[in-house]
Chains A and B, each alone.
Chain A
Amino acid sequence: MKSLRYSLAALALIGTTHAAMAADNLEIIVPFAAGGATDIVARSFEPTFSQQLGVTSVVRNVAGASATVGTAEVANSEGNPNIIGYEPAGALSIQPSLKKLPYGPDSFTYICRTVSNPMFLMVSKSSDITSFKQLVEESQDQPFLYGSSGPGTLPHLAMAATVVNSDLKAEHVPYSGSGPAMNALAGNEIQIMADTETILENYDLRPLAVFADHRVEGYDDVPTIEELGLPALDFSVWQGVVAPKGISDERAKQYAEACKATVESDKFKTFADKAKANIAYLGPDDFKAFVQKRFEANKQVLEDAGLTQ
């Protein structure tokens, strides 16, 4: 009950405190509309992060075009020390190979990776398919349909890579998000979907394989893709913080330290636990190398599947 009163008091006070501290003002760009999965994590990340930096920060949602509009806004703010982006995997590691964008993987100062969840290949629990082998066999007569949360998203790429690298026969049907795709899976309009643990747990789904280099805790009987005789495929849904190019090394170091402290804070950990986000911190150099690697790998998948333009 206190919290409500505090929030209301805050409503009145924010204006004044904000104006007073306006000089040290950090904008955190989230390239999705408010309330989305990435936005929620960003908004839980923001208070501790700005406290660590000693600044006032505002989350700004710049949505559109598969998150590339907001990401481009960060890239275009070259040298601006008061703007960072809380970015999803797709905007950094897939979209630049799909279409002409005003940025590429080299357009950012990488700060940190915050969370990362491995993806599972899954089917509806109401289907009688219990293994990947069975799935491949049954797909021979009539190809299956796999859903995704849109063209060029991670669920699309993961399945496209699986189809290219195995005997599985399946075709792609994109939806406008994970929710509608789940609706279609529940109604047996599609049969296969690749997504994270959150989706797996919330809907009646059966995991057949995991797109990671080792088995995942809690799902010990779910084999990795490599164990099934396919080349190793690594697909995970991750998020990270990037800043524009051209900021001072000192500022970049401040960001990196603040990010590390935030990710390790109890507050963020409690939240991540509730939202089933898997904390997976990577520092600036590791993160940069990671994005580069993912970018190349995804580009290869897109080329193999004939999806590049």
Chain B
Amino acid sequence: MDVILAAVGDAFTWQALLAIVIGTWAGIIIGGLPGLGSVVGLTIFLPFTFGMDVITSMALLIGVYCGSVYGGSITAILINTPGTPQSAATTFDGYPMTQQGRVDEALGWATFASFFGGVLSCVLLIFCAPQLAKFAVNFGSIEVFALVCLAMLCIVGISRGSLLKGLVCGMMGFFFSMVGSDPITGADRFTFGTYALSSGLDLIPVVVGAFALSEVFVRFSSRDEEATTIPEARLRFPGLRDIGRRLIELVRGSFIGSFVGALPGTGAAAAAFISYAAAQKLSPRRANLGKGEPDGIIASESSNNAVTGSAFIPTLALGIPGDVVTAMMMGAMVIHGITPGVRLMQDQAQTVYALFVVLIIVNVAMLVLSKPSIGLFRYLFKLPLGFVMGGIVMFSFIGAVSVRGNPLDLVVAALTGILAYVLRRGGYPLAPLVIGMVLGPALESSLRRGLLISRGDFLSFFTHSGIATTLFVLIGLFLIWTVTAGVLEWRARAATRRKAASAQPVSE
């Protein structure tokens, strides 16, 4: 108990609080600007942390991280361009709501869901970190393979419009992720002999091209129509009754996010898609999903912000960073002489608890700072469309090139932008492209690692462990359910059509 009180004292120093405010606010802005995301935000602030003490520097970085994951939703809702890949799923319902003039409500739900997800995952982190970490260790390659298979199956149905077109885009994203060095043998794939391609295609430039640049092109080709004006954004928090009605959605999204975030090799973008897929199957208002239903925003935003808390579970409990962002945080801790690992909880309990407290304060700060941040975006988007689009092009370029410092990534972003425009005009959904790129590598490397471990015996995957068997059974049930439901629906539709045809004889 003394340790916890001391930890609270560590977190409530004025410099830590100031760092939280600055970090969170900057994070929201950076996350909201298309092209710039969590990685760029942390890269900007990392050098400033060298002169600070541990808690202050972590407060700054955690603020930037959580803020940027939330901030991505603002532009996703306002202009259909996710500020970060993590918020790609927020566009599904956020932008339709904006088009219907319900932008205030959409922003309110996104903000509240982010806060809810963030806090719930903090609570989980505080009480269940060791247990969750132990559980995550049991997730070996084969279990991860089963989980990703299940996730991908659920997600197949996510795309609005044609299933075939969604699938082909998913395969394209999967293919993008395979360019460059093969993760198992190290051989170059699809580089066509050019050295520049051997580093592969990074997710950020592709997302920048597929969403930000293609949005500029789309708005350009329809710049005379009314749809191009960006509505004034205000923030209206949902009332208590509304929250009560959708509480189960909030809790489900947060739990999915917390769980996915604790596993190694996944991340917030994957969590948001998985959570959205779950809402599509389980929400009582699922028929409206994709047409401007707050449940969709809740599913995406509560889960991606829940990842911010639970991503620290493997990092703090095992010293295993789950993604690039937590790896950067781990680096910042090492600089201050704290090496995350199995003994961190025992040796440095006070610091660890102080970090938990900081995480909670950051989420509160996010809620408070959402209003001024959205105000800033409202002001920015009031500028003539040309300036907004010029800014988006510029930020896209900066974001694409600064992730890895490789000018080739700019060309990738530009080409993806043109490709994405053509695809959008042809009625292809772009979200599966991102999903394929996010989940593809996890699927491929876990499959091939699993084959190495089982010495080439794929059948033994099914009996590898209790977790794996359970997941594969779930996959089987899901497949049966989908096929039966599909057949039933098709029959019902055919029946009504026949009825309609017989009732109305053809007159022409």
Contacts and interface: CB of A to CB of B under 8 A. Distances in A.
Interface string A33-54: 1111101100110000000000
Tell me the dominant secondary structure on chain A's binding face: mixed
Interface stretch (A55-63, A238-246, A255-263): A55-63
A309 B187 contact: yes
Interface string B313-339: 010001111001001111110111101
B46 A35 contact: yes
A70 interface: yes
Contacts of B188: 99
B27 interface: no
Contacts of B53: 3
B137, B202, B343, B403 — which one has the most chain A CB atoms within 10 A of its CB? B137
Given A43-B47, A176-B265, A35 B328 contact: yes
A30 to B, nearest CB: 9
Contact of B137 (A33, A35, A66, A187): A187
Interface string B405-448: 11000000000000000000000000000000000000001000
B386 interface: no
Contact of A64 (B22, B183, B200, B342): B200
Interface in B127-142: 136-141
A184 interface: yes
B195 A100 contact: yes
Interface residues of A, number: 64
A203 B329 CA distance: 18
Interface in A143-179: 145, 150-152, 171-177, 179
A259 to B, nearest CB: 20
B327 A36 contact: yes
Contacts of B136: 183
Contact of A150 (B19, B48, B50, B183): B183
Given A179-B319, A202-B343, A274 B187 contact: no
A33 to B, nearest CB: 6
Contacts of B328: 33-35
Contacts of B319: 179, 182, 202-203
Contact of A65 (B50, B200, B445): B200
A61 B405 contact: yes
Contacts of A40: 331, 334-335
A79 interface: no
A231 interface: no
Contacts of B341: 201-203
Given A33-B328, A151-B182, A202-B319, 5 more contacts: A1-B15, A4-B51, A34-B42, A173-B453, A274-B334
26 contacts: A1-B13, A3-B56, A4-B15, A4-B18, A4-B51, A7-B49, A35-B42, A40-B334, A43-B50, A44-B335, A60-B405, A64-B199, A64-B406, A65-B199, A69-B199, A179-B319, A183-B136, A183-B320, A186-B137, A189-B140, A189-B141, A201-B341, A202-B341, A202-B342, A203-B319, A276-B339
Interface of A: 1, 3-4, 6-8, 10-11, 33-37, 39-40, 43-44, 59-66, 68-70, 72, 98-102, 145, 150-152, 171-177, 179-180, 182-184, 186-187, 189-190, 198, 201-204, 271, 274-276, 309
